[in-house]
Every structure is written in C-alpha cells, then in structure tokens.
Chains A and B, each alone.
Chain A
Amino acid sequence: MGWFSKKKKASPDPTKSKDVFVQCSRCHAHIFLEEWKEQVKVCPRCNFHDRLSARERLDLLIDAGSFHELGKDIRPGDPLLFADARGSYAEKAEAARAKTGMNEAVLAGHGRLNKLHTAIAIMDFRFLGGSLGGSTGEKILMTTEYAAGHKLPCIIVSASGGARMHEGMVSLMQMAKTCAGVARLRQRNLPLISVMTDPTTGGVSASYAMVGDFHLAEPGALIGFAGRRVIEQTIKQKLPDDFQTAEYLQEHGFIDCIVQRTELKSLLHSLLVYCGCS
C-alpha cells in the first residue's frame, strides 16, 4: 500500500524536546515546528502535503479580516434517524462538532483573495471524513448561489471521502443539488476553480469537484471515484502505487495544474485575473 493511502498527521516527536519539532509522517524527517508552520504543513524534505483544517486553509487563501461566513449555524440533519452497531449518527455528528469546533464539514463564505472578491467553500476532512451530507451540500449551494447572485467567481477546496452514508439518499442527492448550483455559474460565465486536496473521492469527486473550469490539485493528493480496496477486489490485482494520485490524474487529463501549497494563493489570483475578475 502506498504512502498516500495511510497518511497520518505529522505528530510532535516524543524523542525530541517538546513542541520544537514535528516528524513528517511520510519520510519521518524531524522538522522544526517553526519551519513546518512557515511551509504550511509541507515537509521541506519530501514535499509531503499534510492535511489542513478549513480554518488553516482559509488563513492561507483569504486576506486577513475580509472573510464573511455563510450558513455558520447550519448543522447536520438526521433524515433517516440513522444508527449502526457503534452508535447513532446524531452522536457522531455531535462528536465531530466537539472535535473540530465546526458545525459542518464545509466552511462557506466570501472574502478577498489578494483584494479580489470571491465566494469560497472549504471542506474539512476532520468533520466526519469531509463527507457530503444534506447540510454540507446546502452550504456548497449557498456558496455557488452567492457567487451567482453577486457575479463573483467561486473557489471550492475539496477534502472528502465521499457521500455521507448516514444520510442515505439525501446524501446522494447532494451531488445533483451542488451540480445544479455549478450549472448556474456556467450559465452566467462565472469561473469555478476546484482545488482538490487529499483526499477528494467518491461522491464529491463525482460532483462539484470535477466540474470546475479549472482543476487544481495538491501534490500527492488522493483523487478518484471508487476506493482502492474495492477496485482491487473487483479486478483481483494490485494497483500501482501512483494510482489515483494528483499526478496520475493530471497525466490522464483531469487536472490543469498541480500546485505547491505555498504557491496556491498566487496561482488562484492569476487565474481569476485571466478570467477578468477585478
């Protein structure tokens, strides 16, 4: 199994003095915490891009103090009153809220990117695996509708394992709901930039993440429709290590640019300028 399928958060190294170093979970190099922060959680040795929270991503991309959040209080619904062997969905959602301080798996709003006004939605993998539930889809649609209504460009940063099965078909239908929102951007010639981060899979890859005017991806990000294990069981053979990486997708024609995290903001800005945004 490749490194990309079992990424863990780079953790502070217990053998080193506390809070001075972190250890890269891919190459195991010890990195000064200071440098780690400066590189926005990218390993200077092996270029491993560790996952960011939605807030961290927001700080990276949107000018300080310019963000206005949309749908802040929207929380997951529980249309099926779902429970499995390990407890209820309501409890899981509550635990995710407690862990992340977020009400849903997406942070939605609008703000300035190097002074350019843009709508933006950023997913957070820590919240139930960034899964796409009814309220997640609602906030994505709020973002595209805000862009459509205010003639703004739209940026969506994805990080998701796919549909939220605890919401059953309500979850699946969010693929249709969000794409209907994207269609309205197309009708108005407003640009949608989809940024795929690790991981962007399942129902999210098969909806709004893959219908942007521009597809950007972070190096090494896992991007694909079906899960690796499911495919291996189906075709009964091992998949190559680079299968479903950002690089693999670019080679197959589905990604415009693979971009270093530290250069993401300036690339987004340039694209928006080319699209005539001001």
Chain B
Amino acid sequence: MLDFEKDLSVLDQRIDELKQLSEQGEADFSAEIENLAAKQRQIAKRVYADLTPWQTVQVARHPQRPVLRDWIGLLFSDFIELHGDRCFGDDAAIIGGFATLENRRLMLIGHQKGKNVDENMERNFGMARPEGYRKALRLMKLAEKFSLPVVCFIDTPGAYPGMDAEARGQAEAIANNILEMSTLKTPILVLVTGEGGSGGALGIGVGDTILMMQHAIYSVISPEGCASILWRDGNRASDAAAALKLTAASLMELRLVDEIVPEPPGGAHRNDEATAASIRTVLLEHLKRLTRIPVSKLITRRFDKYAKIGQPL
C-alpha cells in the first residue's frame, strides 16, 4: 500500500465490511455505504489531484495497476497473439498480435508486466530482451504490409540489463526498431500506460502520436538511477523524480506528449473500466484521424515531429 493511499484503503476496507454484512442480511447498510463511497471519491479526488512526481512514479508502478493483458480484455476483441522473433525465441516481456478496437483492426504491441511474483518472473517484470524488440519489429512490418495501424502500449522499467541481452545485441535491437519505426509506412499510435523506462520504452515507442495516461511516467533514467549518479544517494529518488520532469503533465508542457488520457479519481487501479472507457475514446479518435492522412505525408510529419525536439532556440 502506498502511504498517501492509507485513508483510501481504510475506507475501502470499511465499505467491504459493510457490503459483506448487508449480503449476510444483518441489516441494510446501503445508505452508509453510499455515504462512505462519496467520502472516498472526495478523498481520492483530493489526493490524486495533487500527487508529487515521486508519488506519480509509485502510482505508475502500482502492483494493482492494470497491465497489458488487462487492457486487452477490457478494450479489444478478437486478439490473436503472434509469437516469436523468427530468429532466437519468444520474449514474454513484449507481446503482440492482431486486435480489434470497436470495428477497427490493428496491430497491438506492448510490454507485459506481471501482477504477482510468478507472473513477474514469467514476464521478466516487463523488461524485454533483444528478441522482444525484434518480435515487435516483425509484427510492425506485418502491419505495414497489410495496411493496419500499429498501437503500442508502453509499460516497462527499462530494457533488460542482463548479460544474455547484451550478448544478443540489446543496443542494436533497440536502435534498429527506432530507425525502422521512423519510416514505417503505416500509422503508429503510442500510449504510455504505466512506466516509460528509457530506451526500453522507446524501442517500441516512436510514433505519429504519443499519448500518456494521467498517472503514467516517462523518463530517460529511473529516478533511483538518476539519484544515485547525480545526487550520489539512491534515497534522493524523489528529488530526482521532480528534476527529471517525468510526469504526463510536465511532458505535455515540454511538448513531448500529444495528449493525456484522464484516469478516474484514485487512479486506473481503482476503476479499470472507467479508465478503459477513456482510453477507448482517445484511441479511436486518434486512429480515425491518423488513418485519414496519406502515408507519405504521415512519414514526413513523423520526421518533422522528431527533428523539432531539442532544436536550439
């Protein structure tokens, strides 16, 4: 439990208790439940309206925050997962395949975290190896071939920093994806749902439109890593988080993100269905817009979008 969520979880617990009692037929607590729920919404709204950057990092990494598998269930139909990079293996930390959003067919690719220890072991905490990035590129090329838009969901602490990943060319795999995505002849829509961890995120994160969930983060380095290098103290992560300007609101100001997808008070993990509804609206709107742009124009615009970033004033 996050410290700033304490009041909320006390209410959560109380509401659950009363619901149970009601169900057991002890008495009718519906008025009191409604009362508490209203209070909870109020507190959630207040707490979440004013999260510090470090608190936002904690929400983005919240163990109950929906992961890609959850979003697939909530948003898409007819998902057909496509496995493997055709070269080395199948990385469970990045998954992808055909998916349908309302009546729009697309190629969905994203990092897959787990929600418990076993799942996280299987998914390597959403930290992909080169074969994950190469699988992603293979699927993007398929999308290009069959004129389907690509939608990427970003949620990773970073690319896996392991010996095997280095031996198989982590740097080359990411670099090649970034390059290929810059000229892929089909629309690419990117949504940062949780953690946008540096090169590991960008490896499937170059696109025409970059969206971010309200409580997601996107950073060149983890706040802990930055603190240990620049503050020489890993415990100064909250200072580093503030300095790195890694929240959706800050990145909107820096014009690195095109739109923020709002989350209900209390964050996506407190109401995944409401969150999914707002994701659906925003995705559909951008898919509609991007698929109308001729591909050659799309690629010029994509180049211009990135060429502009960091241009001296």
A residues near B (Cβ < 8 Å) are 74-75, 77, 79-80, 82-86, 133-135, 137-138, 141, 163, 165-177, 179-184, 186-187, 202-203, 205-211, 223-227, 230-231, 234-235, 239, 243-244, 252-254
| Bound CA span A84–B291, Å | 43
Q: Which chain B residues lie closer than 8 Å to A169 at the CB level?
A: 218-220, 244-246, 251, 254, 256
| Bound CA span A86–B162, Å | 31
**7 additional contacts (CB under 8 A) given A184-B303, A230-B161:** A84-B231, A170-B310, A180-B179, A202-B199, A225-B199, A244-B166, A252-B168
**Which 5 A-B pairs give the minimum distances between C-beta atoms?**
A134-B310, A226-B161, A205-B171, A180-B182, A84-B230
Q: In the complex, which residue of chain B has the Cβ closest to the Cβ of A184?
A: B303
* Pairwise interchain contact B169-A168, C-beta atoms closer than 8 A: no
Q: In the complex, which residue of chain B has the Cβ closest to the Cβ of A145?
A: B307
Q: Which chain A residues lie closer than 8 Å to B313 at the CB level?
A: 77
Q: Which chain B residues lie closer than 8 Å to A135 at the CB level?
A: 310, 312
Counting CB contacts under 8 A, is B44 at the interface? no
B202 to chain A, nearest CB (A): 6
Counting CB contacts under 8 A, is B1 at the interface? no
| Bound CA span A230–B222, Å | 12
Counting CB contacts under 8 A, is B311 at the interface? yes
B173-191 interface code vs A (CB 8 A; 1 in, 0 out): 0111011111100000000
Q: How many A-B residue pairs have CB under 8 A?
A: 189
Q: Which chain A residues lie closer than 8 Å to B161 at the CB level?
A: 225-227, 230-231, 234
Max chain A Cβ within 10 angstroms of own Cβ: one of B180, B203, B219, B220: B220
B139-166 interface code vs A (CB 8 A; 1 in, 0 out): 0000000000000000000011111011
Counting CB contacts under 8 A, is B302 at the interface? yes
Out of B179, B220, B246, which one reaches A179, CB within 8 Å?
Answer: B179
Given A79-B310, A134-B309, A168-B244, A211 contacting B166 (CB threshold 8 A) = no
* Pairwise interchain contact A206-B179, C-beta atoms closer than 8 A: no
Q: Which chain B residues lie closer than 8 Å to A235 at the CB level?
A: 162-163
Max chain B Cβ within 10 angstroms of own Cβ: one of A180, A186, A235: A180
Out of A83, A170, A202, which one reaches B254, CB within 8 Å?
Answer: A170
In chain B, residues 75-91, which have Cβ atoms closer than 8 Å to a Cβ of chain A? none
| Bound CA span A98–B10, Å | 57
| Bound CA span A252–B236, Å | 38
Q: Which chain A residues lie closer than 8 Å to B199 at the CB level?
A: 163, 172, 175, 202-203, 206, 225
Given A175-B178, A207-B175, A225 contacting B183 (CB threshold 8 A) = no
Counting CB contacts under 8 A, is B167 at the interface? yes
Given A225-B174, A234-B161, A85 contacting B230 (CB threshold 8 A) = yes
* Pairwise interchain contact A85-B231, C-beta atoms closer than 8 A: yes
* Pairwise interchain contact B309-A180, C-beta atoms closer than 8 A: no
Q: In the complex, which residue of chain B has the Cβ closest to the Cβ of A174?
A: B310
Counting CB contacts under 8 A, is B226 at the interface? yes
Q: Which chain A residues lie closer than 8 Å to B236 at the CB level?
A: 85
Q: Which chain A residues lie closer than 8 Å to B230 at the CB level?
A: 84-86, 165-166
Out of B168, B198, B303, which one reaches A180, CB within 8 Å?
Answer: B303
A203 to chain B, nearest CB (A): 6
Q: Which chain B residues lie closer than 8 Å to A82 at the CB level?
A: 243
Out of B220, B232, B239, which one reaches A172, CB within 8 Å?
Answer: B220
A5 to chain B, nearest CB (A): 14
Q: Which chain B residues lie closer than 8 Å to A80 at the CB level?
A: 243-245, 254
A198 to chain B, nearest CB (A): 15
| Bound CA span A75–B311, Å | 10
B207 to chain A, nearest CB (A): 9
* Pairwise interchain contact A168-B246, C-beta atoms closer than 8 A: yes
